[in-house]
Chain A
Amino acid sequence: DVKVTQSSRYLVKRTGEKVFLECVQDMDHENMFWYRQDPGLGLRLIYFSYDVKMKEKGDIPEGYSVSREKKERFSLILESASTNQTSMYLCASSMGGKTETQYFGPGTRLLVL
């Protein structure tokens, strides 16, 4: 079974704090993704990575950065958290092909006060 794990299920941070969200997959997948899910907006892609040290901006990259130093790990960084970054964050991974299924982690619910 593919397993995608996220470091925290719930996080509460203060405005201006630096926030790290970690994602680990155990299936040797090439692709990894970070989404945020908001009511009425569905899932929106923040960043994705198709290889170690490679990253591509998604649809809403502003205010975020990512790091992929190892194939199995993809980190999302909020350099200076703001209240509008309060959201559910979902990590996913997939094999390299375009039609490969994306497997999602359980999500991290982040509250920025």
Chain B
Amino acid sequence: DQQVKQNSPSLSVQEGRISILNCDYTNSMFDYFLWYKKYPAEGPTFLISISSIKDKNEDGRFTVFLNKSAKHLSLHIVPSQPGDSAVYFCAASRSGGYNKLIFGAGTRLAVHP
């Protein structure tokens, strides 16, 4: 039973346009959410995070939105660049306990010129 779901395995976007990657979760105990980016043959790297006390967090071209009532978060990349082409993983952690993350299956983003 996947507690963190990324229902779109892939997304294709034109350079300069907005990329929107979506993530749903089922566990209401999750209180911290992250996005990681992974290039082939490399480990995932941290991109951006959001606490459940916020509904938006922005870092340059990347913005994460959290809708707690819908148990949904999204990552917006504006403008998209070819170097953004990678697999994006959504992750969540529960209140209390250690720094233990539950990851989604990932969405492969392709940004084409």
Alpha-carbon separation in the docked complex, A43 to B6 (Å): 12
The distance from the CB of A11 to the nearest CB of chain B, in whole angstroms, is 15
Complex interface: chain B residues within 8 A of A101 (CB): 46, 49
Q: What mask results when residues 80 to 93 of chain A are scored 1 for a CB within 8 Å of chain B, else 0?
A: 00000000001010
Q: A99-B32, A104-B44, A106-B41 are in contact. Are A42 and B99 (CB under 8 A)?
A: no
Within 8 A of A (CB), among B1-30: 4, 6, 9
Complex interface: chain A residues within 8 A of B102 (CB): 45, 59
Alpha-carbon separation in the docked complex, A9 to B40 (Å): 12
Interface residue total, chain A, C-beta cutoff 8 A:
30
Query: Which residue in chain A gives the minimum CB-CB distance to B96?
Result: A98
Once A and B bind, how many residue pairs between them come within 8 Å at the CB atom? 66
Q: Check A99–B51 contact: CB distance below 8 A.
A: yes
Q: Check B99–A97 contact: CB distance below 8 A.
A: yes
Q: Check B32–A92 contact: CB distance below 8 A.
A: no
Q: A40-B9, A90-B43, A107-B43 are in contact. Are A102 and B103 (CB under 8 A)?
A: no
Q: Is A44 an interface residue (CB 8 A)?
A: yes
Complex interface: chain A residues within 8 A of B91 (CB): 43
The distance from the CB of A96 to the nearest CB of chain B, in whole angstroms, is 8
Q: A42-B106, A58-B100 are in contact. Are A98 and B93 (CB under 8 A)?
A: yes
Report which A residues bind B (CB closer than 8 A).
Answer: 4, 9, 31, 35, 40-45, 48, 50, 56, 58-59, 90, 92, 94, 96-107
Please name 30 pairs of A and B residues whose Cβ atoms are closer than 8 Å in the assembled complex, sorted by A: A4-B43, A31-B98, A35-B103, A42-B4, A42-B103, A43-B101, A44-B103, A45-B101, A45-B102, A48-B98, A48-B100, A50-B98, A90-B43, A94-B99, A98-B32, A98-B96, A98-B97, A99-B32, A99-B49, A99-B93, A100-B99, A101-B49, A102-B99, A103-B43, A103-B46, A104-B36, A104-B43, A104-B45, A106-B41, A106-B43
